[in-house]
A and B are shown apart, each in its own frame.
Chain A
C-alpha cells in the first residue's frame, strides 16, 4: 500500500467513520456500502488533494470515482494536476 493510501485510510477511519480501529483496505467499498455518506466526500476529496499534492477538479469527479481508496487514487492520477 502506498503512503498516500495509508494516509487516506487513516483519515477516513479517524475523521469520517470516527472509529480508529476499524479495518479498511484500499478496496473496501465506502460509499456503496453506506460506510460513508456521499456528503462526506467533499472532505475526503480535500484530503485526497493533500496526500497526493494534486489539484483535483471536483466537477470531474463523481461519487462512484471515490467508492474505494484505490479508486480515489486512480481518480487523482487520471484527472489531477500537480499543485504549484
Chain B
C-alpha cells in the first residue's frame, strides 16, 4: 500500500536547519551526463562539501549577513557553494554562467550592475570562468573574489558550527531575468521560503519516496526552488542534468525519468512541444513514464496544443493521464502562486472564449469549444493555501470574475523586497499586494494567464497580444521559430497604437524577395486577428535582443528597432 501523504509540515525554522537534519545516507543529487558518467551524492556527502565551502568562504571574509555572488556551471559544486554560504549566515545569489553565445558587452554590463547593487563581500567563480569578465565585477574595498574547483573536497574540514538564523532573516537573493539595465534582486527570507514549500508540498502531496527530475538552470526560480531547495528541505532525491547537456540530448529527460522512476518534474511550455516533435515514434517505446505523477508546465504561457502534443506522443509510454499539470509562479512569491490538480481537480481546466468580447471588452466569456475561432485557454490552477489573487483594472479597481486585468498577489511567502532597491519595491509592493505586471482572468477559482501588462497592444480599442502576432509570424517557414517580436507604437495622428513586428529569418544571406514573406505574414495577421500591422521588419539571425533566460526581450528589441528605423517615430 503506497505511503499516504500527511499534511506537510516542516519542523525547521531555517533552510540550513532542514539540511542539517537530512539523513546522511539518503541520496540527494544524481548529476547525470550520460549513462557512463553519472554520480550520486548523498546528503552526508553534500553536507560535508557545503561545510568545506563554508570554511573556505569564511577564510576569505564571508560572514553573517554578507552577500555572496556565485557564478559557476550547473552542478553539485554550485549547490554546495550556495549551501555553504547559507551555513555562515550569509546571503548567496546565483548568477547565470556565461555561455559561448553570450554577447560579451551585454554580459559585462549586467555583471557590473548586479555586482554593484549586491555589494557582495565575496564573489565565487569556478576554474574556467573567463578572465575577461572578471574585470566587470564590482568589488568593494573589503570584498574578495575567489576561484573554486568543481570537484568535491578531498579531505574533510574541521567542523563548522552552523550560524543560527531566524525565520525573518534573508536566506538568499534570486535575480529576475532582466534584459536591459539591472536585474532585480528578489530578497527572500528563510521563513518565506519554508512557508512556500509547506504550501507547495501540501498541494502536491509530497511523499518521502518522491524523486525529482530537472534540467532547469539554478539561477532561475523554477530550478532553484522546485529542483534544489524543495528536495533539500524535504530530503528528496534529485536527478539533474545541466541545461547545456539537456539541449544536446533532450530525450535524456525521458530516459532519466524512466531509469530513475522520477515522480515530479517542472518544465517550460516549449519543452513539451519540443519533445513531442523531436522524439521519433520508433524511439518512444524505450521510455516508461508510469512513475511520473506530475509534469508541471510553468514559466511560460501554458498552451493547450503543447500539452496535447506531448500527451499524444507519449501516452503509449505509460504517461498517466493526470500527469500533465500547470502552475503560475514567480520569484517574488518564492515560487508557486497557483497549482493545478489540487482541491479535487485532476487536470488544468480549459475554457473556450468568445473571441470578440475578449478582444473588444477584455472579458472572458465561456463558449462552446466548437465555436468558430474561439481561442482556448489553459488554466494555471488554483491558489496555493495562504495565497490570494486579485484581478484589477488599470486604475487598480478589483474586477469581476472573467474580466481581464493585472494579477495581484498576496501571500505569506512573498519577497522581503528588491535588494537595495526600495524604489522598485515600493512600485511593486503596495498595501501588502504584489503587482505582478501579468495579465489574466479568473473563472471558477482557476487562474488563466493571458500575457504581460506592458506588452499589450491596443489597436482602435481592440486588444492584441504580442504573443499571438509572434506565433503567426513564426508559423511562416522562413521565420526562425521563436524569433519574432511584436509591439505597439502609438500614433498621435490616429490616436491609437499600431502594430510593429520584427522577425528573424532562417536565411543569413540573400533574402530573395522579402516582400513576399511580409505579405504572407501580414495576410495571416489580418485573417486571424483582424488587425493590419503597420510595419513588418525582417532581420538576420541573432538580431532580436534576448534576456539571460533566453527569452525575447520586447522592450529592448523595440528600442533597438526604433533606433535603426527612426521613420517609425514619425508616425
Contacts and interface: CB of A to CB of B under 8 A. Distances in A.
A59 B33 CA distance: 5
A62 B244 contact: yes
B420 interface: no
A63 B33 contact: no
B250 A34 contact: no
A35 B37 contact: no
B247 A38 contact: yes
Interface residues of A, number: 26
B506 to A, nearest CB: 6
A22 B507 contact: yes
Interface string B186-203: 000000000000000000
B248 A41 contact: yes
Nearest to A36: B541
A77 to B, nearest CB: 18
Main secondary structure of the interface of A (DSSP, over half): loop
A23 B507 CA distance: 11
A35 B509 CA distance: 10
A22 B250 contact: no
Interface string B273-292: 01000100000000000000
A19 B247 contact: no
B247 A34 contact: no
B480 A42 contact: no
Interface string B31-62: 01110110000000000000000000000000
Nearest to B542: A34
A61 B541 contact: no
A43 to B, nearest CB: 8
A23 B247 contact: no
Contacts of A61: 248
Contact of A32 (B100, B509, B510): B100
Nearest to A57: B34
B541 A34 contact: yes
A8 B50 CA distance: 45
A58 B480 CA distance: 25
Q: Taking each of A18, A19, A34, which has the highest tally of chain B beta carbons within 10 Å of its own beta carbon?
A: A34
Nearest to B477: A18
B286 to A, nearest CB: 15
Given A58-B252, A59-B34, A33 B541 contact: yes
B482 to A, nearest CB: 8
Contacts, number: 76
Interface string A21-35: 111000000011111
Interface string B510-553: 10000000000000000000000000000011110000000000
A34 B248 contact: no
Given A34-B542, A58-B249, A17 B507 contact: yes
Nearest to A67: B100
B8 to A, nearest CB: 35
B557 to A, nearest CB: 14
Nearest to A28: B508
A10 to B, nearest CB: 17
A56 to B, nearest CB: 10
A17 B36 CA distance: 33
B249 A19 contact: no
Contacts of A37: 480-482
A55 to B, nearest CB: 11
Contacts of A18: 477, 506
Given A34-B542, A67-B100, A58 B506 contact: no
A15 B358 CA distance: 40
B99 A34 contact: no
B101 interface: yes
Nearest to B482: A37
A42 B278 contact: yes
A83 interface: no
Interface in B495-514: 504, 506-510
Contacts of A84: none
B506 A19 contact: yes
Contacts of A34: 504, 540-543
Contacts of B507: 17, 19, 22
Contact of A17 (B33, B34, B506): B506
B508 A22 contact: yes
B245 interface: yes
A45 interface: yes
Nearest to A17: B506
B506 A39 contact: no
18 contacts: A17-B506, A19-B506, A23-B509, A32-B100, A34-B543, A37-B482, A39-B274, A41-B247, A41-B248, A42-B250, A57-B34, A58-B249, A59-B34, A60-B34, A61-B248, A62-B244, A63-B247, A64-B99
Interface of A: 17-19, 21-23, 31-35, 37-39, 41-42, 45, 57-64, 67
Interface of B: 32-34, 36-37, 99-101, 244-245, 247-250, 252, 274, 278, 477, 480-482, 504, 506-510, 540-543
Given A39-B247, A67-B100, 13 more contacts: A17-B506, A17-B507, A17-B508, A31-B100, A33-B508, A33-B541, A37-B482, A57-B36, A59-B34, A60-B33, A62-B248, A63-B101, A63-B247
